[in-house]
Structure 1
Amino acid sequence: MSWFSFHGGHSGQFCAHAKGTLREVVERAIALGFTHYGLSEHAPRFRDVDLYPGEEALGTTGLERAFQAYVAEAIALRSEYGDRIELLIGFETETLPPVIWPDTMRRLREENPFDYMVGSVHDIDGRWVDFSRAETERLKADLGGPEALHLAWFQQMTAMVEALRPEVVGHIDLIRKFEPRGFAFGPRALLAAERLLEAVRATGGVLDLNCAPVRNGYGAAYPQPALLDMAERMGVGVTLGDDSHGPETVGVGLEASLAAAATAGYRSIQCLSAKRGWETVPIERVSRP
């Protein structure tokens, strides 16, 4: 049996909105029987205006130092625990700074010995979409309403996938985080989502089946059933992501992600190995021990 996650592993040691140490995250993954576990710390921000809430004291220089310390610690932990778990070391992208983010994210990847990259978007034109309901509503109004917001989101996601070609494409419908249960994208947004999925398929990526919404009370796992059904019909692969932000959330909710894949008709889940690349695992072989 296999049990894995490739989006998460954030820790309070290197992420201001997470908890615990990276070692505690890894030890928790081992205790829970993970066979593979991906660490994907957030890319640093390079402008003060782009700092996450709580990062002001660190500043951009401190974030860059913390990111390099994360890489060093992850490598050391992979060596220490290599006989008990396969740790994959990656990072989670931003589309920041605006305009120059493709070169900035590519540089981070080229300068570090990463196994993979989680391609994520958390902003539209430098404005956060997932930190505050009020802030997201202001952005929605400024762009011209819900449809305009959703179109801008999927366009940004598509641009990120085409520019960076990430192995894992993170929470493709994060933009619905503050929408009510039962929310559905409109026809134009679904067409934009289809173009995104075409880009994922063309670049060889797989979707992050992300259980954070289930764990945090924001609804179904990302992507929502309508998008996951579309992805399955298009032949886009999926993998599991716990989006953990500390040892206490390692693996929490992943069963919901697995159930969502089965409901959408998936018969296999993709698992990443540093030596062998993506491996197709029959869904009945994916289970928490």
Structure 2
Amino acid sequence: MVWFSYHGGHSGEFCDHAASSLQEVVEAAIDRGFTHYGLSEHCPRYREQDLYPGEERLGTEGLIRAFDGYVTRAFALRDAYAGQIELLIGFETEKLPPERWLEAMRLLKSAHAFDYVVGSVHDIDGRWIDYSPQDTRRLAEDLGGTEAMQLAYFRSVTDMVEQLRPDVVAHLDLVRKFEPAGFAFSARVAKEIERLLEAIKAHDGVIDVNCAAARNGYGPVYPLPQILSRAREMDIPVTFGDDSHGVKTVGVGLDLSRQAVCAAGYTQVSYLTRDKGWQRADIADVQPGRVG
């Protein structure tokens, strides 16, 4: 049996909007039957205007120091718990600062011996799409409407995939976070999603089936069923992400990710190993192992 997540492992030790220590997160993953667990802390943000509300006390230099601390701690924990769980060490990207994001992410990637990179986009030209419904609504209004915002988002994610080529593409349709139940993208937006899926396929990406949306009351898991079904038709591999931000959310909701993958017609799920790279496991074999 294998049980895994490659998007999450955030901790209050190194992320201001998370909780718990990184060691506590790792120990929770062991207790909850994970065989493989990815730590993908948020990368630093390098402009004051990109700080989340409340991070002003840290500043950009504080975020950089916190990330460096994460890297040191994560690799130490990988070695310390090697006999109990296989930890994969990575980071989650931003497309920030807008004018030099690619250079910043490439430099960060090359600075350490990371096992993988989670490609995330949380903004459009430096404005958050997922922080609050009010901010997202104002952004949509300024861009000419919800459809225009969604088109800009998917084009940005496609650009990120084509230029950075991350191992895992995170919460593919995050832009619909605050949409009502039963929401569906327009035909025009669906064409942009198709372009994104083609880019993921072309660059050997793996899609994060992320349970955070369902766990937090924002509709189905990311991505929506119709997107996941189309990815399956294109034979794009998928993996799991719990998007955990502390002990309380380690693994919580991944059963919904598993159900979504099955409903889309997948018979296998991909998981990353340090020695053999990406492997595929039959759905029947993807479930928690021993629970301490």
Same fold (TM over 0.5): yes
Task: Find the counterpart in structure 2 of residue 122 from structure 1.
Answer: 122
Measured after TM superposition, the shift of residue 53 of structure 1 is: 2.1
After superposition, the C-alpha distances for 1:42-97 in whole angstroms (9 at most, x for unaligned) are 01000000012221111000110110100000000001000000000000000000
Aligned-residue CA RMSD (Å): 0.6
Matched, 1:287 2:287: yes
Measured after TM superposition, the shift of residue 28 of structure 1 is: 0.1
- Counterpart secondary structure, 2:72: helix
CA–CA distance in structure 2, aligned partners of residues 137 and 236 of structure 1: 32
After superposition, the C-alpha distances for 1:95-132 in whole angstroms (9 at most, x for unaligned) are 00012100100000000110000000000000000011
Matched, 1:31 2:31: yes
Letter in 1 for 2:118: V
- Counterpart secondary structure, 2:46: coil
CA–CA distance in structure 2, aligned partners of residues 41 and 142 of structure 1: 31
Task: Find the counterpart in structure 1 of residue 238 from structure 2.
Answer: 238
Matched, 1:9 2:36: no
CA–CA distance in structure 2, aligned partners of residues 77 and 160 of structure 1: 30
- Counterpart secondary structure, 1:97: coil
TM-score, structure 1 normalization: 0.99
Measured after TM superposition, the shift of residue 234 of structure 1 is: 1.0
Task: Find the counterpart in structure 1 of residue 151 from structure 2.
Answer: 151
Letter in 2 for 1:125: D
Task: Find the counterpart in structure 1 of residue 88 from structure 2.
Answer: 88
Matched, 1:62 2:62: yes
After superposition, the C-alpha distances for 1:189-248 in whole angstroms (9 at most, x for unaligned) are 100001001111111110000000111010100001011011111111100000000011
CA–CA distance in structure 2, aligned partners of residues 127 and 243 of structure 1: 21
CA–CA distance in structure 2, aligned partners of residues 237 and 99 of structure 1: 31
Task: Find the counterpart in structure 2 of residue 252 from structure 1.
Answer: 252
CA–CA distance in structure 1, aligned partners of residues 13 and 95 of structure 2: 23
CA–CA distance in structure 1, aligned partners of residues 130 and 145 of structure 2: 17
Letter in 1 for 2:42: H
TM-score, structure 2 normalization: 0.98
Task: Find the counterpart in structure 1 of residue 204 from structure 2.
Answer: 204
Task: Find the counterpart in structure 2 of residue 174 from structure 1.
Answer: 174
- Counterpart secondary structure, 2:269: strand
CA–CA distance in structure 2, aligned partners of residues 36 and 52 of structure 1: 30
Measured after TM superposition, the shift of residue 278 of structure 1 is: 0.3
CA–CA distance in structure 1, aligned partners of residues 146 and 132 of structure 2: 16
- Counterpart secondary structure, 1:56: helix
- Counterpart secondary structure, 1:192: helix
Measured after TM superposition, the shift of residue 285 of structure 1 is: 0.6
- Counterpart secondary structure, 1:140: helix
Moved more, 51-60 or 199-208: 51-60
CA–CA distance in structure 1, aligned partners of residues 276 and 103 of structure 2: 28
CA–CA distance in structure 2, aligned partners of residues 240 and 53 of structure 1: 29
Contact 1:214-1:253 at 8 Å conserved across structures: yes
- Counterpart secondary structure, 1:217: coil
Q: Where in structure 1 are there 5+ consecutive unaligned residues?
A: none
Structure 1 runs (4+) deviating above 3 angstroms are none
- Counterpart secondary structure, 1:23: helix
Letter in 1 for 2:240: L
What is the number of residues matched between the two proteins? 289
Identity score, percent: 59
- Counterpart secondary structure, 1:235: coil
Task: Find the counterpart in structure 1 of residue 103 from structure 2.
Answer: 103
CA–CA distance in structure 1, aligned partners of residues 47 and 12 of structure 2: 21
Task: Find the counterpart in structure 1 of residue 71 from structure 2.
Answer: 71
Measured after TM superposition, the shift of residue 143 of structure 1 is: 0.5
Letter in 1 for 2:170: G
CA–CA distance in structure 2, aligned partners of residues 50 and 237 of structure 1: 32
CA–CA distance in structure 1, aligned partners of residues 274 and 68 of structure 2: 20
Task: Find the counterpart in structure 2 of residue 214 from structure 1.
Answer: 214
Matched, 1:138 2:159: no
